[in-house]
Amino acid sequence: MVCPVLIAPSILAADFAHLAEEVLSAERGGADLLHLDIMDGHFVPNITIGPPVVASIRRITRLPLDVHLMIADPAMYVDDMVRAGANWISVHVEADVHLNRTIQHIRNQGVQAGVVLNPATPISSLEEILPDIDYVLLMSVNPGFGGQAFIPATLQKIRKLKEKITSNRYRARLEVDGGIDTGNIRQVLEAGADIIVTGSAVFRSGRNPADAVREMKGIANPRAMDQDAV
C-alpha cells in the first residue's frame, strides 16, 4: 500500500498578526502537519519562536506539530518542546555532537524523531543514525529565511537518500523543505519525497491558505482528492 504524501505548511511564512486564522485556514484546507521552525540566531542567522508560541499554537489546532530545531544546542530544548505540544521533533546533524542520544531521548517521549541535513551536508552523515529515526528532513534551501528559491541539486540528493532508505527497508520517511510550490512539487515527489514542507506557496500566495493547501494536496495525491470529490 502506497502511503499518501503529507503536506506540512510552514508558519514561518504566515502573517503572525493573524496567526490563529492562518493556521485554522490551512487546517481547513486539509494540511496534514504544521511545520514550526525554531531559530536561535546562532545556528542560523534569524530568530523566530520558542516554546510559549508552540504551546499557543497547540491550543488552537488538532494538527500534529512538526517542530524543526534550527538551534545550536537542540538537546537542551527537546523537553520544553514536548511539553509545549510537539508531535514531531527534528534536529540538525550539523548541530548535535551526541545525535544518537538526542534521537533516543525524543523517541522515549513518544514523539517522532527526525534528523535534518543542510544543502551542503552529504547523506553519508546519516549512515549510523538512519536505522533509528522516523524521518529525514532535507533542506532544499539554506536554512534561516523563508521565500528562498529551491536548490535544484536537492533532487539528486532526494533520489539517493530514497534509494538508501528503500533498499535497506528503513522506516524513515523523507521530508523536504524549502522553495517548494506548485511549479516544482511534482519534481520533488518524483524524486522520492514523502512529506512536503511549503510556506510561501500557502501563506503568501495571495489566496486563502485553505485553497492553496487544497491545490498542493491535489497535485500530491490526485487519486485521493478525486475520491473525496465523489
Each domain of the chain, given as residue ranges in start order, spans 6-225
Q: Which residues contact 95 (CB under 8 A, 6 or more apart)?
A: 43, 69, 70, 71, 72, 73, 74
Beta-carbon count within 10 A of 129 CB: 18
Active site residues: 37, 177
- The fold of the 6-225 domain, in CATH, is TIM Barrel (3.20.20)
At residue 37, the pLDDT reads 97
pTM of the complete model: 0.94
> Could you give the CA distance from residue 23 to residue 28 in angstroms, rounded to a whole number?
9
Going across the sheet that includes 88-92, the strands are 6-9, 195-198, 173-177, 135-139, 112-117, 88-92, 65-70, 34-39
Average pLDDT of adjacent 10-residue blocks, the chain of 230 residues: 86 96 98 97 91 97 97 95 98 95 97 97 96 97 81 97 97 96 96 96 94 96 58
Distance CA 105, CA 219 (A): 36
